[in-house]
Amino acid sequence: MNILLVNDDEMILQGIVAFLSEYDYTVITAKDGEQAIEYFKRHIIHLIILDVMIPKKNGFEVLLEIKRERDIPIIVLSAKEDEETQVKAFELGADDYVTKPFSLLLLVSRIKTILKRYCVVDELWQYQNTTVDFSTHCAYYKGQEVKIRPKELAVLQCLVKYKNQVLSREQILEQVARDVADLPYDRVVDVYIRKLRKNLNLDCIKTVKNVGYKISL
8-63 confidence digits (pLDDT tens): 999 999 999 999 999 888 899 999 999 999 999 888 788 999 999 999 999 999 99
Residues 19 and 102 both lie in one domain: yes
Q: Distance between CA atoms of 69 and 66, rounded to whole angstroms?
A: 5
Residues 100 and 146 both lie in one domain: no
Residues 165 and 208 both lie in one domain: yes
Q: Where in the sequence is the domain holding 96, given as residue range(s)?
A: 2-118
Residues 11 and 75 both lie in one domain: yes
Residues 103 and 130 both lie in one domain: no
CATH number, domain at 29? Answer: 3.40.50.2300
Q: Would you say residue 179 has pLDDT above 60?
A: no
Q: Which of 92, 118, 144 is the last residue of a domain?
A: 118
Residues 148 and 114 both lie in one domain: no
Q: Which of 118, 144, 173 is the last residue of a domain?
A: 118
Please say whether the beta carbons of 199 and 144 come within 8 A.
no
Residues 92 and 171 both lie in one domain: no
Q: One-letter amino acid identity for 107? A: L
Continuous segment of H or E residues that includes residue 65: helix 59-69
3-state SS of 104-122 is HHHHHHHHHHHHHHHCCCC
List pLDDT tens digits, range 58-79. Answer: 999 999 999 888 878 999 999 9
pTM: 0.67
